[in-house]
Amino acid sequence: MNKAKRQAVIAGNWKMNKTPSEAKILLEEIIPVAKDAGCEVIACVPYVDLSVALDTVKGTNVKIGAENCHWAESGAFTGEISTGMLKEMGVEYVVIGHSERRQYFGETDETVNKRTKAALAAGLKPIVCVGELLWERECDITEEVIARQIKLDLYDVSAEDAKKTIIAYEPVWAIGTGKTATAEQAEEVCAFIRAELAKKYDEETAQAITIQYGGSMNDANAAELLSKENVDGGLIGGASLVAAKFGAIIDAATKG
Ligand code: PEP
């Protein structure tokens, strides 16, 4: 019932894949498979692909996102990209706190929070990633880990801004490993996230927020995962690089 009222969002996270010319080719393949989508379709691409990606999707229903942003407006932050730079280009979404950034690039909940607030202040829609490590699941502290991430990553984010934020539940052990959470595991944690959001904000706000599942989602398992009440979409890595697979996931989301 509430699921039907929420925006279903299928977002590809291309990671460090595709040069600008390759990005154009892939988007030209994605556009036709996305054209009848009953959900939001986003491709989050490397910074250097943003310009060609925005040009290629012009006039279509495919939206473009970045894979990160910095919290400062400008300054001595070599190698970083500001929210103002993204906004001026026409980027609408930005992935924040992906587990690969947390694992390999020192991203913390504090920096995730700063980036999230900066994105929202600039009018970008953040896709904030949360998720437990395998050993945290094995130690039975998944809920503690997720509750902490929700509290810290959304610290000082208003209810109004939270409604513009997408939460991606991505169990770290399922990302790029071919190991998918079962639909029951995904639903259990996505429902827990919604309950935490209701505690932090209120039920109406929690019910309005899109919560995605991410972690080896593909054309074969998407329908079952996306049928769950609290799974409103997917953040997709590997399968988003193959238009036919991404299209099948979009179809699964459209059917609900
Ligand atoms: C991701 O990068 O967010 C992701 C879920 O990757 P994959 O689908 O390849 O597991």
Nearest alpha carbon to residue 128 among 13, 35, 254: 13
pLDDT of residue 178: 84
Do the beta carbons of residue 24 and residue 45 sit within 8 Å? no
Choosing from 16, 175, 219, 249 the residue with most ligand 1 atoms within 8 A of its CB, the one to mutate for a pocket test is: 175
For 178-194, the pLDDT digits (tens) are: 888 999 999 999 999 99
For 39-48, the pLDDT digits (tens) are: 999 999 999 9
Q: Which two tokens stand for residue 115?
A: 């980036």
For 207-253, the pLDDT digits (tens) are: 999 999 999 999 999 999 999 999 999 999 999 999 999 999 999 99
Please determine, for residue 256, whether its predicted confidence score (pLDDT) is greater than 80: no
Is residue 180 within 6 Å of ligand 1 at its C-beta?
no
User: Within 13 Å, how many C-alpha atoms sit on residue 220's CB side?
Assistant: 5
Report the atom number in ligand 1 closest to the C-alpha of 238.
Answer: 9
- Confidence label for 1 from pLDDT (cuts 50, 70 and 90): low
Is residue 235 within 6 Å of ligand 1 at its C-beta?
yes
Average pLDDT over residues 132-136: 95
CA–CA separation, 162 and 176 (whole Å):
28
Q: Is 70 a catalytic residue?
A: no
pLDDT of residue 75: 98
Average pLDDT over residues 64-82: 98
Choosing from 15, 95, 180 the residue with most ligand 1 atoms within 8 A of its CB, the one to mutate for a pocket test is: 15
CA of 234 to the centre of ligand 1 (A): 9
Give the predicted TM-score (pTM) of the model: 0.97
Report the atom number in ligand 1 closest to the C-alpha of 100.
Answer: 2
Q: Which two tokens stand for residue 32?
A: 């036709």
Q: Is 170 a catalytic residue?
A: yes
pLDDT of residue 5: 87
pLDDT of residue 7: 84
Q: Is residue 64 classed as helix, strand or coil in its secondary structure?
A: strand
Please measure the distance between the N-terminal and C-terminal CA atoms of the chain and give it in whole angstroms: 12
Query: What percent of the chain has a predicted confidence (pLDDT) above 70?
Result: 100
Mean pLDDT of the chain: 97
Burial of 90 (0-12, 13-18, 19+ CB in 10 A): middle
Q: Which two tokens stand for residue 70?
A: 């910095």
How, if at all, do strands 211-214 and 62-66 pair?
unpaired
Residue whose Cα lies nearest atom 4 of ligand 1: it is 237
Q: Which residues is 130 bridged to in the sheet?
A: 169
